[in-house]
Amino acid sequence: MLKIDTVTKSYGNAAQKHEVLRGVCVELAAGETLALTGESGSGKSTLLHLAAALDGFDSGEIVLNGIAYSGLDDRGRARLRRETLALVFQQFSLVPSLTVAENILFHARLAGRPDPSWAAEVTERLGLAALAQRWPEALSGGQQQRVAIARALAARPQLLLADEPTGNLDEDTGTRVLDLMLDLVRETGAALWLVTHSDAVARRVGRRVHLSSGVLS
């Protein structure tokens, strides 16, 4: 489903160039789960952003379902994120003018596949039912994180990318979140790629890769 082939990424100019990724190669099949680990500042989030078509790379190629990222313009990348991917990043990025319930269905509606019954199940399983009519500003950080996760899952993506999805959650809630993500993979054949610092989380997914000094191992 996803192939990252010899991708490099750097920041700065020729005089002060910082190489973040150095010829990274990784593949992810449909139905597969993958954990990405590494020290803070090792480039994990950068690599996930590249996989999400949110940023450009210097060289190499990324291909999702046969579509090469290098051939996409801004509109094509946006369509890919809307129709194929779902993202859970640490910024949450909830729409402040929408209620929790409306935020949860937002991505699915954009993708043209709203499923209120599935959204309701996700909402219930993440303990958000009592918060459905609240505004994002009235939520705690952990609650906003659960809403962002619910929004991604409600869209039934083919590829779910998550950056520390359980990082701000208590142990019980984090377990429920991971259970639901793994259920989505089993039920729909989606692929899951998550960044985590937790060995307990990494042990529950099918495969682990480690990023150090811009190289995967």
pLDDT mean by block of 10 residues, the chain; 217 residues? 96 83 96 93 91 95 96 94 90 93 96 94 93 96 91 93 86 87 86 91 93 92
What pLDDT shows up at residue 92? 85
Among candidate residues 197, 100, 106, 105, the one with its CA nearest the CA of residue 146:
100
Within 8 A by CB and 6+ apart from 172, the residues are: none
Asked if 170 and 145 touch (Cβ cutoff 8 Å), the reply is: no
What pLDDT shows up at residue 120? 95
The model's pTM: 0.90
What pLDDT shows up at residue 97? 97
What pLDDT shows up at residue 215? 93
Of the options 3.40.50.300, 3.90.1150.10, 3.40.50.2300, 3.50.50.60, the CATH number for the domain spanning 2-216: 3.40.50.300
Angle at 75 between CA 77 and CA 85, to 5 degrees: 35
Domain chopping of the chain, boundaries: 2-216
Using CA atoms, how far apart are residues 156 and 79, in angstroms rounded to an integer? 15
